[in-house]
Structure 1
Amino acid sequence: MTDDTPTPALTELAEAHGIATSYWSFFGDRVTVPATTLQAVLRSMGVAVGSDAEITAALDDIQEEPWRRLLPASLVSRPGARVLLVHVADGHDVTLSIALEDGSWRDLPVPPQEATARTVDGAPVWRLQIPVPVDLPLGWHTVHAWQRPFGGDVNRTASAPFVITPERLPAPPTRPGRRRGWGLMAQLYSVRSRASWGMGDFADLADLAAVAGAEGADFLLVNPIHAAEVTSPIEPSPYLPATRRFLAPLYVRPEDIREVAYLTPTERAVVEAARTPVAATDDDPTRIDRDAVWAAKRLALDAIFLAPLSTGRRAELDAFIAREGQPLQDFALWCALEEHYDGAPRPDDARDISSPLVAELRAQLTTRVDFHIWLQWVADQQVERSQAAAKASGMTIGVMHDLAVGVHTQGSDAWSLRGMYAPRMTVGAPADMYNQQGQNWNQPPWLAPALAEAGYAPLRDMIRTLLRHAGALRIDHVIGLFRLWWIPAGLSPAAGTYVRYDHEAMIGVLALEAHRASAVLIGEDLGNVEPWVRDYLSARGILGTSVLWFEREGEGFRPPEHYRESLLATVNTHDLPPTAGYLADEHVALRARLGLLTRPVEVELAEADAERGAMLALLRERGLLGGEASEQQVIEALNVLITASPSQLLGVALVDAVGERRTQNQPGTDKEYPNWQVPLADGAGAAVLLDDLATHPRFVSLLSAVDAAL
């Protein structure tokens, strides 16, 4: 057997690139990462490791590379929190200035200091450490450097993004007389109205927000609305999008586009004919068919796109195009290419955005590119209206969007931003008690150096899109901004390792954009997250998350009074069955039906019964539940229980408010269960439509109970 233990030099090189060479497993074991894994990760970063000589050369290069640069690729810092490293040739001095975002300039003094030196490429280089001034304004600035020999003229210049981020975000806003807020959580695609096209859409988002706001809710959290494929089959998981920068036109309500009002009767008939078959499924409780919905909407949208725009509307579209820049053009081109090659072989050159073939197709497919640009403008306007409706209803926060961990390996971002992602790598999770082989999420990881070279613009622009018309953002798997589990192609998820990121920069960019949007940030920090990460996020004003069923203390449940203050606290999550299903052991029964149990079903049921008994006992001890209680009373008591916590935000699941039992997503399955395709229904399996929510007895009762308890 070949020894796969890494050499000391390989270990040092991996650590220098932020790659974990060992880690503590879920089961408490110290795992040494094999050499093959470290080599594969390094190669994906562009590091040659084919021989001992190459490893030694790469180690020298990673140590000397910063010294070869007058300025770093970029710097993201809180005021006064970091230092700017400047590397100056021996016998030279340097002048520094900052071009502030508002167009003004400010000199950056070089204080007296004992500089350190290193010989690089045969010549001495001095390192200066320049403190970030504490009084710099927040924003996206640029630092400039001019190097000159003593008494001579400038012989070298450099510039770099210089980003100053807030120290801490403020607490979430609240309604007058309240110290914290609460909101509704929903899977938007599942919430249909009588005007829907077979699945929930942006118009339904506005109406659902208005209904919840009228009941006292401060926010509406929905699943990610990132764009998916534009050809069948459309990926059902909102957490595996084609791009995180742009919106899903699948959620557009065609009739809400202004130009529909000016269609001829014949043209309007095309829209109505497209809607009729999918609208007939609005009260079907069995399954959402995204492919059918998109096929119908695309017919209608193609017809509406041909309607001429007024001068004012054209000006609005042109302004949108100018604001979104080249990334919008590239995304629209990707959509057009997907249509162009739908079902046909695709040449390798089409997978390279810089190839002559793609340039030729960009010109050839101009009309379809314009169509997808127009679609993004339409989607942006409809999301804007949903946030306006949320705020008009009295919500203090409004729509809370969800940011997926990453993107599909064959999606738009992976194509147009290929240099930002590690090739032959995917992201996932190491083994745990539920997934003993680990998990592979089929998403390419960011390359940290590439992000820094780009001044974190791809991350910034993604966040700006989501926060442009929202009051909050939930970040799925927020630990991914600190470190991600990389899996080399061809290896199992268990053979991966962690790769670290500059979390100060990543979190800083999010905080700056949230500050500018007056938005709240929530990081999903469930599972294997180091305590210091939660402390760090809390110190930055970023809320964590809590799920009642996961809050254990000793042999029982943690009293809600012991929860963290900096939290969005909820009873359940979309990866669990709704509470009605949980109380009925659906989480055991479903896994048993799918063959996912690793223990006998009797053991699982006994454990679930004990867990449920402990929770019911806690509710009775607190006087929240009588001796004989209905399912609805238990669900209300559970939601009232978490109002005793000091947590700054509370979330109520829409599925709990109508008695739904089916889970939206069963982890560990793909085709075995209709993940992310379950329409909203009640406990009897009857579809629940948005039009009826405002008078739905269970919905009104649960929301009223939570609102009254605050």
Structure 2
Amino acid sequence: MKAPLKELAEAAGLLLEWENSDGEPCQLSEQAQRNLLEVLGYSTASESAIEEGLQRLKRLHAPASPAEWPPLLTADCDTPITLPSPLPPGTAFTLQLEQGGSKQGYLDDNGAVPSVTEIGYHQLQIADTELTLAVAPHQCYSLSDASGETTPRLWGLAAQLYALRRPGDGGIGDTLALEQCVLHAAEQGADALAISPTHAMFSADPERYSPYSPSTRLFYNVLYSAAETLLGDASVHDAQARNGLQAELRRLEADDYLDWPEASRAKLSWLRYLYDDFMVREDDEAQALHREMQAFRRAGGALLENHCRFEALQREFGPGDWREWPAELRDPASPKLAHFAETRSDEIGFHAFLQWITAEGLSRAQRVARESGMAIGLIADLAVGADAGGSQTWSRPTDMLEGVSIGAPPDLFNAHGQDWGLAAFSPDGLKRSGFRSFIDMLRSAFAHAGGVRIDHILGLLRLWLIPRGASPTEGGYLQYPLDDMLRLVALESWRHRGIVIGEDLGTVAPGFRERLTARGILGMQVLWFEQDEAHNFLAASDWNPHAMATSSTHDLPTVAGWWAGRDIEWRSRLGLLKETQSAESEQLARRKERAKLATTLGLLGVKPTTETLEAADIPASQVLDACARHLAATPAPLLLLPVEDALGLEEQANLPNTVDEHPNWRRRWASDANDLLTSDEVRQRLVALTRARKATSSSKPSRSALFGKSTHE
């Protein structure tokens, strides 16, 4: 018989045993169990408190009657549906289908709802209870569905949105520059453009600009807006001139590095002038746009209203954590908050206006991508969590966990673990709310894209959570309802006709990648990690046919940077090398690694004898071309080449374990988006990549007809 504490910990979803990155068994200490249970809302102060917690969990996970059922159940199509608690076989039910119409039936001999073929969010009425039944396809919308090819061999680029340039952007890449980049990528044969996260940040606190630490994943970063596309160049230029910012904007635009605080303040300043002018315009064009904006606000409902209120509140009270605001303003439903909204209606309207023009810009970029011939178009990036002091935790606190942050346990690269400072979903809160925040988050990500990359997709299975104030070593794994979440991902994928990529790099739980593959979710494989046990780089034919292939990521060296040893220079300069490492030892190891990579890429001839290479021995441009050919030859159904590797740049977007020491998320590319891919070297590289990919693809009828027309064209 298990000890009550251990029983409660397991029932609450804590993982008591696991293997670390070295394959060694680990156990969650009793003290860590108590600390995490307290944060999850289960007292361990006495045996009676523990028993009370067990009974609460029993009612949640095994309700005694339909009256206690959760508001939403997930199910697979064509599979009998087990109910949360047993009802007699033959019990009558009615299913109101999302597409219209209804079905009547009876529970089968096992007390299950007979299989449902129609995917969607249906309403199940049974035993005086009504709940939502989310019926999912067995797999996500696939690359074959998108391309019509049996064995797709598509390719695309991966871009940091803020790094794009265009004349008049004011120092920040925006959706108009994104349009231009999409057009030129499509001309080169690309079927996709993966972009950095576009989640909403903090308008009143522009010092917080990491795209992976957003205020909310339910809305968008308004600094990426391009108001010109809706209101015209003349209106924008007039607002900037009246604000006296034209010289400042030109200076910011010319910088090699994005100054987020200054560029943010300048852009929001002239956007306020633009908004004020727009709201008093009475011409027919403006009135039509007013109606569109109001329709956008109505569609956004309370969720959008609350985010805009949060932005207004933070401007009122200044940067900082909303948990430090007056108590009556910490609750979005409080009467004091309603009064605040009445008195600040114009400020709230301004933030709704910003969300509208940003969403319209992203939608327009995706439309341009598809009209230009891309099979996929934009691939959005979904961060693993949100800032604990942001809009998402304020607006829906019961869906999030308070008092813990997401991180990582100790491993080979971080002996003390990592604390990312991000808020996590509450598994119990998600179930009680019918997974509303998870579904809304997916819809926001898919809304203006042809695909979504889910960062740290292992988080759908488990997250390493650290109590506030504790060391990462004192954290533990909390398990999540993986089956429910994967079904919802598949359902939203089909509703939006969007592919799904799961970032599964590093150590994952046994069998997890197989679960993703079974659901039609692509994994990720990165050139630097595709090595055998002897640390030789894998031949192209040995790569995984069920994962996306790429040369690098935003957190890793570019090809040219790796070849030059630039990443080693940075880590040495900033003191990021381990005690057992030195710049000299790392550069020596890199010389050996260069030879191994060159061997795999066929740059050393048929029978290579060289065991070390200097960076100057082979020009980086040749290495880049060979890497592109190598990636193109893999069986990966999708190849994403970072723009940095298309251009041959040495610097990476982000250097992990740094904040201000390295210009993370600030580097901008030298050329405008219209000229980014036009050099002879880049064009030849991409043309060769297109030919290599298209040579191995084949056609087939699309599966799309199975589920009817998309609800989000």
**Is TM-score (shorter-chain normalized) higher than 0.5?**
yes
**Alpha-carbon distance in structure 2 between the residues aligned to 1:176 and 1:444:** 40
Any conservation in 2 of the 1:174–1:180 contact (CA below 8 Å)? no
**Alpha-carbon distance in structure 2 between the residues aligned to 1:140 and 1:707:** 40
Superposed counterparts of 1:547-566, under 5 Å: 547-555=526-534, 556-566=536-546
Q: Deviations over 1:185-213 (max 9, x none)?
A: 11110121223211211111110011111
Scaled by the length of structure 1, the TM-score of the pair is: 0.89
Any conservation in 1 of the 2:235–2:274 contact (CA below 8 Å)? no
Q: Deviations over 1:367-417 (max 9, x none)?
A: 111111111111111111111221232211111110000100100001101
Q: Report what 2:137 is aligned to.
A: 166
Q: Among residues 99, 103, 109, which one is paired with 1:102 in the alignment?
A: 99
Q: Report what 1:11 is aligned to.
A: 6
**Alpha-carbon distance in structure 2 between the residues aligned to 1:356 and 1:609:** 66
Q: Report what 1:674 is aligned to.
A: 663
Q: Report what 1:640 is aligned to.
A: 629
Q: State the superposition RMSD in angstroms.
A: 2.5
Q: Report what 2:503 is aligned to.
A: 524
Q: Deviations over 1:543-602 (max 9, x none)?
A: 111001101112112222121111110111111121111111112111111111112213
SS in 2 for 1:229: coil
Aligned residues: 669
Q: Does 1:630 align with 2:654?
A: no
SS in 1 for 2:252: coil
Superposed counterparts of 1:13-162, under 5 Å: 13-65=8-60, 66-70=62-66, 72-73=69-70, 74-81=72-79, 83-85=81-83, 87=85, 95-113=92-110, 129-131=111-113, 133-146=114-127, 157-162=128-133
SS in 2 for 1:661: coil
**Alpha-carbon distance in structure 2 between the residues aligned to 1:20 and 1:548:** 32
Higher relative contact order by CA 8 Å / sep ≥ 6: 1 or 2?
A: 2
Q: 1:222 to 1:625 in 2, by over 3 A?
A: farther
**Alpha-carbon distance in structure 1 between the residues aligned to 2:101 and 2:376:** 34
**Alpha-carbon distance in structure 1 between the residues aligned to 2:2 and 2:98:** 47
Q: Among residues 223, 240, 252, which one is paired with 2:196 in the alignment?
A: 223
Any conservation in 2 of the 1:19–1:499 contact (CA below 8 Å)? yes
2:317 maps to amino acid? Y
| 1:262 Cα deviation after fit | 5.7
Q: Report what 2:228 is aligned to.
A: 255
Q: 1:301 to 1:607 in 2, by over 3 A?
A: same
Any conservation in 1 of the 2:451–2:498 contact (CA below 8 Å)? yes
Any conservation in 2 of the 1:479–1:525 contact (CA below 8 Å)? yes
| 1:672 Cα deviation after fit | 2.2
Q: 1:343 to 1:502 in 2, by over 3 A?
A: closer
Q: Deviations over 1:56-91 (max 9, x none)?
A: 23224423442333163121111244633254799x
Q: Deviations over 1:140-172 (max 9, x none)?
A: 1122222xxxxxxxxxx3222210011113431
Q: 1:178 to 1:328 in 2, by over 3 A?
A: same
Q: 1:380 to 1:313 in 2, by over 3 A?
A: same
Q: 1:277 to 1:267 in 2, by over 3 A?
A: closer
Unaligned stretches of 5+ residues in structure 1: 1-5, 114-128, 147-156, 681-686
Q: Among residues 608, 611, 618, which one is paired with 2:593 in the alignment?
A: 611
Q: Among residues 559, 567, 573, which one is paired with 1:579 in the alignment?
A: 559
Any conservation in 1 of the 2:366–2:378 contact (CA below 8 Å)? yes
**Alpha-carbon distance in structure 2 between the residues aligned to 1:208 and 1:397:** 15
Q: Report what 2:288 is aligned to.
A: 312
Q: Percent identity?
A: 30
Superposed counterparts of 1:658-673, under 5 Å: 658-673=647-662
Q: Deviations over 1:394-446 (max 9, x none)?
A: 21111111000010010000110111111101111111111111111111111
2:241 maps to amino acid? A
2:139 maps to amino acid? R
Q: Report what 2:484 is aligned to.
A: 505
Q: Deviations over 1:646-669 (max 9, x none)?
A: 110001111112221112111111
Unaligned stretches of 5+ residues in structure 2: 611-616, 694-713
Superposed counterparts of 1:405-424, under 5 Å: 405-424=384-403
Comparing 697-706 and 57-66, the one that deviates more: 57-66
Superposed counterparts of 1:370-449, under 5 Å: 370-449=349-428
| 1:527 Cα deviation after fit | 0.6
Q: Among residues 242, 247, 254, which one is paired with 1:270 in the alignment?
A: 242
**Alpha-carbon distance in structure 2 between the residues aligned to 1:22 and 1:169:** 31
Q: Deviations over 1:453-478 (max 9, x none)?
A: 22222222222222222111111111
1:639 maps to amino acid? A
Q: Does 1:332 align with 2:308?
A: yes
Q: Report what 2:297 is aligned to.
A: 321
| 1:526 Cα deviation after fit | 0.5
Q: Report what 1:459 is aligned to.
A: 438
| 1:315 Cα deviation after fit | 2.2
| 1:175 Cα deviation after fit | 8.0
| 1:41 Cα deviation after fit | 2.0
Scaled by the length of structure 2, the TM-score of the pair is: 0.89
2:136 maps to amino acid? T
**Alpha-carbon distance in structure 1 between the residues aligned to 2:84 and 2:195:** 45
Q: Among residues 529, 551, 570, which one is paired with 1:590 in the alignment?
A: 570
Q: Does 1:303 align with 2:300?
A: no
Q: 1:313 to 1:394 in 2, by over 3 A?
A: same
**Alpha-carbon distance in structure 1 between the residues aligned to 2:208 and 2:520:** 34
| 1:259 Cα deviation after fit | 6.0
**Alpha-carbon distance in structure 1 between the residues aligned to 2:652 and 2:676:** 20
Q: 1:275 to 1:217 in 2, by over 3 A?
A: farther
